[in-house]
Structure 1
Amino acid sequence: MDFRKRDNVSVDCVIFGLNDLGLNVLLRKRTLNMFDENYPVIDDWMITGGRVFISKTLEESANVIFEGITGYNEFNRTQFRTYGNPTRLKSDKDLLWVRSHGVKTQSMTIAYYFAQPIESIIVDEDQFKWFSIDALPELGFDHSKIIKDAHEDLKQKIMVEPIIFDLMPNKFTLNELQFAFESVLEIELDNRNFRKKVLKKIYIVPLNETKKGTAKKPSKLYVFSRDVYDKVSEKDFIVNV
């Protein structure tokens, strides 16, 4: 393999995860202290990314980054936008960071997002942390915009593609599925209406199993069948909310 990298092309990966509190984004700590009053101290966060290997495609490069962080090699990725504005890097911190890493200040990045259940991802907690989509910390570069754009794209795609199930455990209740839609779309759904629409979808398959919790009555479990979904001749809204 050729380990050389392109010095002005990178991929950025927005990693979405869902937990009991809602939609989260996985961020990486960015720190740099030159111990010189002429240079700013960098202590903030960024989405993860890296320069593209000359010998790899963009998709392969994104996969390498995701798997290197999570150790997870079963995933779906979505490419949603390319960023190449020559004024992407504006702050002294951003300029210092790229120069300290030997990267050109004017570069193009191709952005992807991944959707996974949080419990399926194990990361180095000294370097990475999950943040609520509604409570992001200070971010470097133009990563606030990239996350916002990724979220907007996710909102659109979960309506017509089965990406929502990438955020879910293999077995889920209808309440958990409703919560996933509400968390991504940032809306409240009518429970009865939602259940009625979900139960019409033949690729959301009921199991002879229940999930025991704090409720008096255990909740029925379901799975998403990709095989059935792929055989549906006319694709419609996943759930028309």
Structure 2
Amino acid sequence: MKPEKILNISVDCVVFGYDTTTKSLNVLMIKRYLKDKQKILVNDYVLTGYHVYTHEKLDDTATRVLKELTGLTDQYKKQFKVFGDPNRLSNEKDLIWIKNEEFNLRTITVAYYFLLKTEDVDLSKNTNDAEWFPVNELPQVGFDHEKIIMEAYDDLKEKCLSEPIIFELLPDKFTINEVQDLYQSILGIEIDNRNFRRKLINKKYIIALDEKQIGVSKKPAQLYMFSKDIYDKVFQKNYLITI
């Protein structure tokens, strides 16, 4: 039996991915395109979302959406806000799309964001024309999805200063410079290198490894890892790093 959808409740997912090559925080979006005869009616990008099935928990819907988009399931996720403004889908292009797709104009969206590494997603196998965009260089965006993205981004910036979630965006083994680059990319600020390094390596849950970078042209840097076990033991409700 085909699952039954709740027609006015959906889940939208902001998938953040960090690209260690370009040192940029990105959002994964899909193309929204509709053509009538020779006229293009809609041509922009949106977040991936879907209606909630009657038998599903909201978290299950979000996980399903992520899996369909990326093939991944076990990623950091956070439900951060509900968007229910009566006029949130009133843009002309949105109304055209809604009529074509036959879904409820008064749809309430529960928004989640996910954290992953861009290299973990193989877009060549994606059937939805998915594409990564830097969070500060978004394309033309449909619905109220730019608002959803920016509110997710604000939450991420706040959360990364109080919880060790940035390590979800890094390799298991990383350098101090890679951690600093990631913080700078998320927060949009320059960080004093020497001060940052001292504070980070003094954290008990940042473990120095007996390994260095390989395959680099410059002097290889020391590698570290994040220990969640140690973090959980020493955690106190204060900032992870004071920048």
Query: With structure 1 as the length reference, what TM-score do the two structures score?
Result: 0.94
Residues in 1 aligned to 2:127 and 2:202: alpha-carbon distance in whole angstroms:
41
1:213 is displaced (CA, Å) by 4.9
SS of the aligned residue for 1:114 comes to strand
1:204 is displaced (CA, Å) by 1.1
1:55 aligns with 2:70: no
Q: Give the residue type in structure 2 aligned to 1:173.
A: T
1:88 aligns with 2:88: yes
Residues in 2 aligned to 1:135 and 1:215: alpha-carbon distance in whole angstroms:
31
Residues in 2 aligned to 1:213 and 1:36: alpha-carbon distance in whole angstroms:
52
SS of the aligned residue for 2:36 comes to coil
Residues in 2 aligned to 1:236 and 1:2: alpha-carbon distance in whole angstroms:
48
The change in CA–CA distance for 1:35 and 1:92 in structure 2 (over 3 A counts) is farther
Structure 2 residue aligned with 1:181: 183
Structure 1 residue aligned with 2:158: 156
Give unpaired runs (5+ residues) of structure 2.
none
Give unpaired runs (5+ residues) of structure 1.
none
1:10 is displaced (CA, Å) by 0.3
SS of the aligned residue for 1:146 comes to helix
SS of the aligned residue for 1:61 comes to helix
Structure 2 residue aligned with 1:172: 174
Structure 2 residue aligned with 1:102: 102
Q: Give the residue type in structure 1 aligned to 2:101.
A: H
Residues in 2 aligned to 1:71 and 1:6: alpha-carbon distance in whole angstroms:
24
1:36-73 Cα offsets, whole Å, 9 max, x none, are: 76xx6111100111110110011110000001111112
1:12 aligns with 2:12: yes
Structure 2 residue aligned with 1:145: 147
1:65-90 Cα offsets, whole Å, 9 max, x none, are: 00111111221101111100000012
Residues in 1 aligned to 2:223 and 2:128: alpha-carbon distance in whole angstroms:
36
Residues in 1 aligned to 2:38 and 2:26: alpha-carbon distance in whole angstroms:
35
> Aligned to 1:207, which of 205, 209, 225?
209
SS of the aligned residue for 1:136 comes to coil
* Aligned 8 A contact 1:2 1:53 in 2: no
1:230 is displaced (CA, Å) by 1.2
1:234 is displaced (CA, Å) by 2.1
1:214 is displaced (CA, Å) by 4.0
Moved over 3 A (4+): 213-216
* Aligned 8 A contact 1:2 1:54 in 2: no
RMSD: 1.6
Residues in 2 aligned to 1:65 and 1:156: alpha-carbon distance in whole angstroms:
25
Residues in 2 aligned to 1:237 and 1:204: alpha-carbon distance in whole angstroms:
15
The change in CA–CA distance for 1:128 and 1:233 in structure 2 (over 3 A counts) is closer
For 1:40-79, what aligned pairs fall within 5 Å after superposition? Answer: 41-79=41-79
Identity over aligned pairs, percent: 42
* Aligned 8 A contact 2:78 2:114 in 1: yes
Q: Give the residue type in structure 2 aligned to 1:239.
A: I
Residues in 1 aligned to 2:2 and 2:158: alpha-carbon distance in whole angstroms:
38
Q: Give the residue type in structure 1 aligned to 2:154.
A: E
> Aligned to 1:32, which of 4, 24, 34?
34
1:216 is displaced (CA, Å) by 3.2
Query: With structure 2 as the length reference, what TM-score do the two structures score?
Result: 0.94
